[in-house]
Amino acid sequence: MSVSASKKFENFSEWFDDVIFRARIVDNRFPVKGFSVYLENGAFMLDIIRKLLEDELEKTGHKKMYFPLVTSEELFRKEAEHIKGFSKEVFVIDQGSGEQRLIIRPTSETIMYPMFKLWIRSHADLPFKVHQSVNVYRRETKATRALYRVREIPWNEAHTVHETAAEAEKQVREAMQIYETVLRKLCIGYIILKRPDFDKFAGAVYSIAFDAWNPDGKVNQVATIHNLGRNFAKAYEIEFEKRDGSRGTPYQTCYGFGFSRVMAAIIAQHGDDRGLVLPPIIAPTQVVIIPIPFKGQEKQILDYASKVKDMLASRWRTVLDDRDDITPGEK
Amino acid sequence: MSVSASKKFENFSEWFDDVIFRARIVDNRFPVKGFSVYLENGAFMLDIIRKLLEDELEKTGHKKMYFPLVTSEELFRKEAEHIKGFSKEVFVIDQGSGEQRLIIRPTSETIMYPMFKLWIRSHADLPFKVHQSVNVYRRETKATRALYRVREIPWNEAHTVHETAAEAEKQVREAMQIYETVLRKLCIGYIILKRPDFDKFAGAVYSIAFDAWNPDGKVNQVATIHNLGRNFAKAYEIEFEKRDGSRGTPYQTCYGFGFSRVMAAIIAQHGDDRGLVLPPIIAPTQVVIIPIPFKGQEKQILDYASKVKDMLASRWRTVLDDRDDITPGEK
């Protein structure tokens, strides 16, 4: 879709920035650090990735809900490890006198779990599985980078609650299966690694990450899955009546899938020195018809090309390139 | 879907809050003023409304993009009337020393138009039509109210740029047509009114609003359309090369469609004293099959009901209610 001036395997960063701008995926000139504009092809790709993932989540019984952007400081501070991990990188809204300070979600545990406390009463409410596709915000202090390292992060987060540790463990496997299905549909190469303790999610028992490779050898973490044990359930006082009538604290998992990083992985792995290359499933345009006009038969040929377009358009995203100011070769 | 304890025409507010909670549309117990949780049916309805509108916008050549949540104070302050109108109700992120304060979008003129300045060069770039479905945030000081008067507002905003005043005027008509199409599909009664000057959008030449009625006689403004003239284009220095080669300042329009208020209008206009009633186009469940079992033939009847479900499910959102612990009558 665009010829890049840089070489992918010589100067990956430059190549990448060039490709996403020329292919109308992202415009990175917005004058606030870490925030950029998703142009029409970027917005289209985001929507496709979201749809693929949401379909899998809904097939496996995750309910879609939408939770608020903000939490209160009081709610944010309930889980000790979680605060330590995130407090330096949250954006804070100061409302001045009279009203409380608000924390913008870096992830939504502290927003969802106070509601889970209200909703979950008994084993009959479990397993409970919910998801949302939203932006989360992290005040990245390192150099930011379009799609890879941004302060506004489009993602899907799913959160589940279970009766037993074994069921939570099983849920981690289901989440792995879901993410694998979507990453394979999107033709991304990745490896799955359990994170060492120092690198696990703040508040989790353990974390598993999906790492995609970059042409420069660096790793691109596109998704993570966390077994939360009962850490958050205890902090947020989520309890349920067990089958034997006694009160219990449930087990939780949560997992996040980064849409912009997945998009970056597709571009990085499939693009070449001529520019953007996309797997058909996510290509905004899947078929381009270029009529080759012959003198005196221009109209018949264009009409036929137009018929072919109509035939294909119900199944493929098809464009008829009927510009008459450039040659078929230039197209 | 739920039997309400209150009467719609006697105590509308109470009836409404009761219906949206029982029908699993919104849970309003989130402990931050003006922010609530869209439960599974609310999230479903939001998605349907968004899809209906986006389809119309794309048919009429609006490109979908996603712009950042925040703007800088400098960008926010460029259009004088706009600041006056919005400065008291924006949420502000204070990043402390070293980094600038950020304004969370109450609407996105001050975020999009600096980019339009970069993108629009000549008459060949016009008309330019873009849209996004996002949440905007307004620090409502009056009492908040789920769906109607909230601080987190899910909406679609479209912004257009034109060569001439006449084309901008024509665009206002197209926007009216689009909103009418969607509101009619959703079976909402409304009137279209030009707002008096004191009530127009901050910075606009004039504003048109779509008002839906409430059972209590109050008005519910579900959408607005603004002819911006050249006010913002001048403030944000958007210029283009005209057909005669000279430089010109383009004309703009923008229009917003409030998803949660549209949802409120559907519920308010169609519900009754037994609870929620939805037009089929937006009903999460369109068909419920209730098998009537006869002794000795339970299995055949259930199998047949299941076949009927499979037949209908490709066209309608169908549920087979096969619970065996309650009677068909109770269902």
Phi, psi dihedrals of residue A59, rounded to the nearest 5° = -55, -30
A to B CB pairs, distance under 8 Å: 116
How high is the pLDDT of residue A95? 84
Q: Are the beta carbons of B262 and B183 closer than 8 angstroms? A: yes
Q: Give me the phi and psi of B79, to 5 degrees please.
A: -105, 115
Question: Domains in chain B, please, with CATH?
Answer: 12-280 (3.30.930.10), 285-320 (no CATH)
CB-based contacts of B284, cutoff 8 Å, min separation 6: B40, B41, B44, B45, B278, B317
Mutate to test the interface with B, among A27, A36, A37 (most CBs of B within 10 A): A37
Q: CA–CA separation, A260 vs A26, rounded Å?
A: 10
* Angstroms from A72 CA to nearest CA on chain B: 7
Per the CB < 8 A criterion, the answer to whether A265 and A257 are in contact is no
Place of tokens 């496997």: A173
Q: In chain B, whose CA is at the least distance from the CA of A150?
A: B68
Of A43, A75, A93, the CB nearest to B65: A43
| Nearest-5° Cα angle at B33, B35 to A115 | 55
Neighbouring CB atoms inside 10 A of A273's CB total 14
d(CA B86, CA B84): 6
Q: What pLDDT is attached to residue A84?
A: 81
Other beta carbons less than 10 A from residue B125's beta carbon: 15
Give yes or no for B118 touching A (CB within 8 A): yes
Query: How far is Cα A264 from Cα A4, in angstroms, rounded to an integer?
Result: 16
Q: Under DSSP, is residue A199 helix (H, G, I), strand (E, B) or coil?
A: helix
Q: Do B43 and A66 touch (CB under 8 A)?
A: yes
Q: Are B207 and B224 in contact (CB under 8 A)?
A: yes
Taking contacts as CB-CB distances below 8 angstroms, the residues of chain A near B39 are: 65
Residues of chain A with pLDDT under 70: 1-5
* CB-based contact, B137 to chain A, within 8 Å: yes
Whether the CB of B139 is below 8 Å from some CB of chain A: the reply is yes
- Residue A221 contacts residue A299 (beta carbons within 8 Å): no
Model confidence pLDDT, tens digit, residues B166-176: 999 999 999 99
Whole-angstrom distance, CA of residue B47 vs CA of residue B230: 34
- Residue A166: helix, strand or coil by DSSP? helix
Number of helices (H) and strands (E), helices first, in chain A?
9, 16
Q: With contact defined as beta carbons under 8 Å apart, do A257 and A156 qualify?
A: yes
Contact yes or no for B69 and A135 at CB 8 A = yes
Contact B32 A71 (CB under 8 A): yes
CA distance A142 to A144: 6
Angle, helices A259-270 vs A40-59, to 10°: value is 110
Of chain A, the end-to-end C-alpha distance in Å amounts to 10
Closest-CA residue in chain B for A137?
Answer: B69
Using an 8 Å CB-CB cutoff, list chain B residues near A43.
64-66, 132
CA–CA dist B144, B136 (Å, integer): 15
How confident is the model at residue B139, as a pLDDT?
92
Could A114 and B67 be called an inter-chain contact, meaning their C-beta atoms sit closer than 8 Å? no
Provide ipTM, 2 decimals: 0.94
pLDDT at A1: 45
* Rg over CA atoms, chain B: 24
Where does residue B50 rank: exposed (0-12), middle (13-18), buried (19+ CB within 10 A)? middle
pLDDT, residue B3, reads: 54
Does B281 touch chain A if contact means CB atoms closer than 8 Å?
no
pLDDT tens figures, B71-120: 999 999 888 787 888 888 999 998 877 788 999 999 999 999 999 999 99
Place of tokens 């993932």: A53
- Quickly list H helices, B128-258: 165-185, 231-235
Summarised one tens digit per residue, pLDDT across range A272-320 is 999 999 999 999 999 999 999 888 888 999 999 999 999 999 999 999 9
Pairing state between β A219-229 and B128-137: unpaired
- Choose the closest CB to A91 out of B30, B93, B154: B93
Interface test with B, best of A25, A35, A90, A155 (most B CBs within 10 A): A35
* Contact: B137, A42; criterion CB under 8 Å: no
Tens of pLDDT, residue by residue over B212-257, are: 989 988 999 999 999 999 999 999 999 999 999 999 999 999 999 9
Q: Indicate yes or no: CB of B104 within 8 angstroms of CB of A114.
A: no
User: Which residue in B26, B35, B139 has the most chain A C-beta atoms within 10 A of its own C-beta, making it the best mutation to test that interface?
Assistant: B35
Q: Do A36 and B68 touch (CB under 8 A)?
A: yes
What integer pLDDT is reported at residue B1 of this predicted model?
45
The answer, for B21 touching chain A at a CB cutoff of 8 Å, is no
Closest approach of chain B CAs to the CA of A150, in angstroms?
Answer: 11
> Pick from B170, B258, B270: which is nearest to B221 by CA?
B258
In A197-309, DSSP assigns E strands to 206-213, 219-229, 240-241, 247-248, 251-258, 287-289
Q: Which of B11-25, B27-41, B68-82, B124-138 has the lowest mean pLDDT?
A: B68-82
Backbone phi, then psi, for A269, in 5-degree steps? -85, -30
The 10 Å Cβ neighbour count of residue A308 is 15
Q: How far apart are CA B206 and CA B228, in angstroms?
A: 7
Question: Which pLDDT value is given to residue B324?
Answer: 83
State the nearest Cα–Cα gap between A91 and chain B, in angstroms. 7
Using the beta-carbon criterion (under 8 Å), do A91 and B95 form an inter-chain contact?
yes
**Tokens standing for residue B13:** 């507010």
For residue A71, give the chain B residue with the closest CA. B32
Residue A5 pLDDT:
66
Most B CBs within 10 Å: which of A40, A51, A57, A64, as the mutation test of the B interface?
A: A64
Contacts of A65 in chain B (CB under 8 A): 37-40, 42-43
Q: Which of A32, A66, A115 sits opposite B68 (nearest CB)?
A: A32
Collapsing DSSP to helix, strand or coil, B102 comes out as strand
Separation in Å, CA of A74 to nearest CA in chain B: 10
Token pair 């620090």 in the structure block, residue: B139
Name the residue of chain B whose CA is nearest to A132's CA. B43
CB contact under 8 A, A68 and B30: yes
Any CB–CB contact under 8 A between A48 and chain B?
Answer: no
Q: Is A66 on the interface with B (CB under 8 A)?
A: yes
